[in-house]
Structures are given as structure tokens and as C-alpha cells.
Amino acid sequence: MKFSTDIWVAALIRRVELGGGFAVVSLKGDARAGSVLVKVLNLTSGTVRLFSEATRADGETVWIRPSRAEQEADLDAYIARARTIDPDLWVLEIEDRQGRHFLTEVVEEG
């Protein structure tokens, strides 16, 4: 992330709103350097996906799915464990009829 976390999160929320989705910060971490988890609820299918920023071996920053679970309770448990390790963690929750994450960065879902 090249911007401070609070600015980056605000920009993603705005992108979601412009795209017709809904976004809310459910956990707020350090404004300058907190890492972010993006939880996406697909309103049509009822599935949930979680995305986390990561650095590949080549140094490129990408977004990955740290858990393959698609049930909200499982992902909430993952988030709770992550928050105990990183108290500066932000969690942004997105609700969208198509399940879009609205991330403009590289996303590796495979």
C-alpha cells in the first residue's frame, strides 16, 4: 500500500459506493500502517470471501485469499485470530449483489 491505511480504506469505500455496493469498516487499526482484510459478502449467493494483502516472492504486492472458507462464521473466526496477532489490523466489509471486491490491485484468487 502506497498511501496511509486510512486514506486507502476511504478510497476503497468510495469505489464500492460508486459501484453500487455497501462498505463499512468493522475493525479499525492503525491509521498509518495497519494492514487490511477485505471481507466480501455476495448478496446473491450468500457466500463470503476474505482477501488479504501479501507480497509474492518476486516482491510484487498482491491480494490473496488467506482462507478458502466461504461461510461467514469461519471467516469471522479467522479474523478474530488475526486480530490477536495484529492489533493494528483493519477489517473492511463489503456487501455486493455480484460479490465484487472492488480492489484495483492484482488479486490472485486461484
Count of domains forming the chain: 1
Confidence at 110, pLDDT banded by 50, 70, 90 = low
> In angstroms, rounded to a whole number, what is the distance separating the alpha carbons of residues 21 and 103?
13
Looking up residue 99, the CATH number of its domain turns out to be 3.40.1530.20
What does pLDDT average to over the chain? Answer: 93
Distance of alpha carbon 64 from the chain centroid: 10
* pLDDT tens figures, 51-92: 999 988 898 889 999 999 989 999 999 999 999 999 999 999
Domain that holds residue 39: 5-108
pLDDT of residue 3: 81
Partners of 38 in beta bridges: 51, 92
pTM: 0.93
Q: What is the pLDDT of residue 88?
A: 94
Greater pLDDT, 1 or 58:
58
